[in-house]
Amino acid sequence: MQVVGVTVEVVAGRVPILGGATSNSTQEAVNKARELAALPGINGILTASPYYNKPTQEGQYRHFRAIAEAVDKPIILYNVPGRTGANIEPATLVRLAEVPNIAGVKEASGNITQMAEVCNAVPETFAVLSGDDAVTLPLIALGGVGIISVASNEIPREMAEMTRAALNNDWETARRIHRKYLPLMLGNFIESNPLPVKAVLCMMGRIEEIYRLPMLPMRRDMRSKLQKIAADVGLVSKPATPVAEAADFYVYENWLAGPHKIVLHRSACSQCNHGKGRPSGHDANHARWHGPYPTLTEAREASQHMAGVLIRSECKCI
């Protein structure tokens, strides 16, 4: 409730606010909805399918109807089967649309065919909203009326402009914005949402990157990819290109068994370790390093002039 209170205070009536009330217990969801509906500044309730227990279509219908009948605020249903394990089918949405204060659905099934069926089946007064930034334009083309967005945390103005342009049939503008920010929309899901969007907001200096278990900071490699995406769309400064270390080269000579053999290595090679490495079984009496040589050309030239060497090769690090 603290988050809801802060949101109401900051928004100060400028835009509608939906309070989230979801549970896999219908009674608990009803209680949450009632508590939210009683708060000043809350304009409606967003509620997802019961998670984990995977109710039938009839079970979902009765669950959502019970929530709607318990409050006097508009209800937006949230269909996100990838997270809840339960899909609200189009026929069930048609029935739920008959409940007076069930006003719409946030459709995040990822199934464009189902979205088309929903748009065709529900009344025009029933709002079908995209729950996936990347498919907002296709859904609007089918009859959707907007988006409840992840990327709008990072690019609120641009998401609003893209959506308004599509709703006004200005598809050229809508597609231009979509194409620019599609990598960000997809990047927000390279690890579990909301990790990426929080990471980007931290990069932008908007929030501190703090998580509660079981959420953890992004893996370093994924965060680097995300930072590049955010930089490419202009949200953060591009990281400075690291200055490459000077690449020295060494020649490893050994005569432990058979003829003298040499192998050319970069200094940073794990086998070389700047002229300190030694393969298992090799000792200082039968092997030695030559170098460092500042360039590959000089190292190769030196190796060609080493006396008594029968076999010359180069490590794959070269």
Write down the catalytic residue from 32, 61, 73, 78.
78
User: What totals of helices (H) and strands (E) does the chain contain, helices first?
Assistant: 12, 10
* Contact status, residue 131 vs residue 80, Cβ threshold 8 Å: yes
User: Is 106 part of the annotated catalytic residue set?
Assistant: yes
Question: CB 105: neighbour CB atoms within 10 A?
Answer: 26
Tell me the β-bridge partners of 72. Answer: none
Angle between helices 156-167 and 171-187 (to 10 degrees): 140
Write down the catalytic residue from 32, 106, 181, 198.
106
- Residue 299: C-alpha distances to residues 245, 251, 261, 274, 282 (Å): 18, 7, 15, 14, 22
SS3 for 170-214 is: CHHHHHHHHHHHHHHHHHCCCCCCCHHHHHHHHHCCCCCCCCCCC
| Phi/psi of residue 206, nearest 5 degrees | -90, -35
Nearest to 55 by CA among 97, 84, 83: 84
Q: Please name the helix (run of DSSP H) or strand (run of DSSP E) that holds residue 165, with its range, or none.
A: helix 156-167
| Rounded Cα–Cα distance for residues 189 and 191 (Å) | 5
DSSP 9: H
User: Is 52 part of the annotated catalytic residue set?
Assistant: no
- Residue 85: C-alpha distances to residues 81, 216, 286 (Å): 5, 23, 65
* Contact status, residue 244 vs residue 295, Cβ threshold 8 Å: no
Q: Which residues are catalytic?
A: 78, 106
